[in-house]
A and B are shown apart, each in its own frame.
Chain A
Amino acid sequence: MDAIFLQILNGLDKGSAYALIALGLTLIFGTLGVVNFAHGALFMIGAFCAVTLQKLFGLSYQVIDETQTDFLGKPLKVDVPYLESWLGPEFSAALMDWSVPLAILFSIPIMVVVGFVMERGLIKHFYNRPHADQILVTFGLAIVLQEIVKYFYGANPIQTGAPEMFKGALDFGVLIGFEPNKVIYPVWRLVYFLFSAVVIGGVFAFLRFTTFGMVVRAGMADRETVGLLGINIDKRFTIMFGLAAAVTGMAGVMYTPILAPNYHMGMDFLVLSFVVVVVGGMGSLPGAVLAGFLLGILQSFASMNEVKAILPGIDQIVIYLVAIIILLTRPRGLMGKRGVMEE
């Protein structure tokens, strides 16, 4: 029982990431009808926003400390972060410690701008082109974005840490009545799950309760009719692209303490997120979220040693296997709507 519970928890953080990325992908696909292969790159850019903020906080200048000497007997040069000299050691240390959560604030405007530029500058011109062209041009864009990041940040993963208070693990089992030390769960993963729940809830509330959201939903259902009502749906769709980019970017920011970001993480997550989207059903937002969590949990069950003993290698392929079975038996996915990208 506790083992199963632990696996569900383990699946939640991966599932949260899948759900957030797939949500962004579906927002773009559902509103704009564009198959965006550069979506993984948005996740990657988000992650590097966190890295950038950490680096910015760490920017420093050198001062000569007369009281100490280096091994040559000269006065020692010490790096002093600008932040420390401006804000004092305690506050700057706190900022440094909280750089990942703070990077969310930092990433939102960046991601929205990236989203706008991508949509207005490139994707807009591909609305009426075949899906294959959309796939290809965004695939090209993904390569370009990843190479730019590689140039600035190098090829190696860059570690970022969670705030001190979220480090370590929580004996989660005790809280709900299991024996101690049975269900140990890293605190940050719990934070990630709660964070994604808030973001997902926010997106759904935004679409459900605001006029803007209602128009967008109407546009997703029937673009032409909404256009005929004289509503400028294109402008709203551009904003949705920015929103989707921001959601995906935030998912990337918060994921950095779990997985040290590298330049090709976008490509790695891209295939997975497409798989999640088709399992959930192309164009269905709840489907994307549901499939994200389900597949995350499924994957963590598949990595249990007991399961691997029966089906070796299953942990590596379970997601793809499920996707293939779903696509063949339920072409519309778990919650897909009729007529989305069908023959």
Chain B
Amino acid sequence: MILGLNRRDTRFLIIVILLTLFTPFLMQPFSEGSALAQFNGGYPDLMAKVAIFGIFAMGFNILFGLTGYLSFGHAAFLGVGSYSAVWMFKLLTLNVFPALIFAVIISGLFALIIGYISLQRSGIYFSILTLAMAEMSYRLAYSVLTPITNGETGLQIRATDPRIFDSATSSGSPNLFGLELSSSFKWEVLNHVFTFNVGFYFCAFVAIIMFYLTLRIFRSPFGLILRAVKSNQTRLNYTGHNTRPYTLAAFVISGLYAGLAGGLLALMDPLAGAERMVWTASGEVVIMTILGGAGTLLGPVLGAGAIKYLEIIFAKINENVLHGWFGFLPDGLEDFIVFILSRFTGEGWHLTLGLMFMGIIIFLPGGLVQGGQRIAAKFRRKAPNDDDDSEHHPKSTSHVAE
């Protein structure tokens, strides 16, 4: 027993830690200058985003994956986290810790209020309440709250900020006790360029801690009862558990994760805008969680990674790139294929995303994790239940607690 985990979970955690630490290698598999180099995803910015949105989705999964309550307003907490962090940068110091702590506290309070109100209802009404509440926050951030949010321009760090704990000579970007997050170390070997960025490793470190906490929550009696909420609320009530505080706790916890993610976003790029809070941004975390597999441990992180990676890679594949790939084909055929594919790449990324999401809901409601389990089961000719994540194998259908 290490850290309160059994052997299987410890092994699972170690694998996740190793994968995270070696991300700069894993996401940079192709050598520079090769035709496939554009599939490399080892930019600090992208890798940090994967970690950050992984945290966001992990938290969302505690609410949606475990209890089945589908919130369409979680981007609001992400936005609140970002604003809070930037304010700490402006007022106190560019050190990341006050910013993150403040982001978590404020978004947690915010989640407590919104959660308390929204959880008065369940099912679709809950979804609509969260939607309405998040839209309200978004619109207020754009209008009357401009003194706090700086409206459309977005909140950013300025040279004139008080920053009472920083010396006058300190630089203008967030740091970890003096070590700037934007600094990185490049390592060139065998025609590969690997970038090790302070910001990414900081986000990765936080993500690992959050993953560990999530694992503990999943294995706890609390997590068990949350799963029972999703499975059968009537039985749970008649068994003597009061569902309301359990769901509220799950809601607030997921809000804390979202606020933390928002804070991390602000420290990678200290600019907070209201567009982070719009309801379709909340839809994005829903998509990530479901793509990976709602209710599974690793699914939401995989989903966040897949979407953030594909988003950047797809944006890079323009018609020229496609012509490069299909240049060996006869001209007419080449043009035709490039024309079709270019509808789905570059600008067409959102189209692909929508189609992919629909496909997952229709054919694979358990997400990538379930898909992986099915494939693994086929190869081993064993029941799919034998996987690492088996205790949480997703239901064949997700649902709103009703």
Contact = CB atoms under 8 A, between A and B. Distances in A.
Direct contact of A and B (CB under 8 A): yes
Interface of A: 35, 122, 125, 129-133, 135-137, 139-144, 146-148, 151, 267, 271, 274-275, 278, 282, 312-313, 316-317, 320-321, 323-324, 327-328, 331, 341-343
Interface string B70-93: 100000000000000000000000
Contacts of A144: 351, 354-355, 358
A236 B397 CA distance: 28
Pairs of residues from A and B, 6 with the lowest C-beta to C-beta distance, nearest first:
A313-B144, A143-B354, A130-B399, A140-B358, A147-B351, A144-B354
Given A35-B124, A140-B358, A327-B121, A147 B135 contact: no
A323 B144 CA distance: 20
A143 B142 contact: no
A132 B362 contact: no
A66 B117 CA distance: 74
A312 B128 contact: no
Nearest to A323: B132
Contacts of A341: 123-125, 402
Given A316-B139, A317-B140, A137 B123 contact: no
Nearest to B233: A343
Contacts of A331: 121, 125
A15 to B, nearest CB: 18
A320 B123 contact: no
B343 interface: yes
A122 B397 CA distance: 16
B139 to A, nearest CB: 4
Interface of B: 68, 70, 117, 120-125, 127-129, 131-133, 135-136, 139-140, 142-145, 233, 279-280, 283, 286-287, 290, 343, 347-348, 350-351, 353-355, 357-358, 361-362, 365, 397-400, 402
Nearest to B127: A135
17 contacts: A35-B124, A122-B358, A130-B397, A131-B399, A132-B68, A141-B358, A143-B350, A144-B355, A147-B348, A151-B348, A274-B131, A275-B132, A316-B136, A316-B144, A317-B136, A320-B135, A324-B132
B361 A321 contact: no
A151 B351 contact: yes
B125 A327 contact: yes
Contact of B400 (A122, A131, A282, A328): A131
A267 B280 contact: yes
Given A132-B70, A143-B354, A324 B133 contact: yes
A162 B117 CA distance: 44
Contact of A133 (B144, B233, B365): B365
A195 to B, nearest CB: 28
Q: From A35, A147, A151, A341, name the one whose CB has the most chain B CB atoms within 10 angstroms.
A: A147
A320 B354 contact: no
Contacts of B343: 151
Q: From A144, A148, A282, name the one whose CB has the most chain B CB atoms within 10 angstroms.
A: A144
Nearest to B350: A147
Q: From B120, B128, B286, name the one whose CB has the most chain A CB atoms within 10 angstroms.
A: B128
A79 B145 CA distance: 51
Given A132-B70, A147-B351, 7 more contacts: A131-B402, A132-B398, A137-B362, A320-B132, A320-B133, A331-B121, A343-B123
A274 B124 CA distance: 10
Contacts of A327: 120-121, 125, 128-129
A335 B323 CA distance: 59
A139 B123 contact: no
A322 to B, nearest CB: 9
Contacts of B351: 143-144, 147-148, 151
Given A151-B343, A271-B279, A136 B132 contact: no
Contacts of A328: 117, 120-121
A275 B400 CA distance: 18
Contacts of B357: 136, 139-140, 143
A83 B68 CA distance: 56
Given A132-B68, A143-B354, A323 B128 contact: yes
Contacts of A274: 128, 131
A151 B352 CA distance: 13
A147 B123 CA distance: 29
Contacts of B397: 129-130, 133
B400 A320 contact: no
B361 A324 contact: no
Contacts of B133: 320, 324
B129 A133 contact: no
Nearest to A137: B361
A38 B124 CA distance: 15
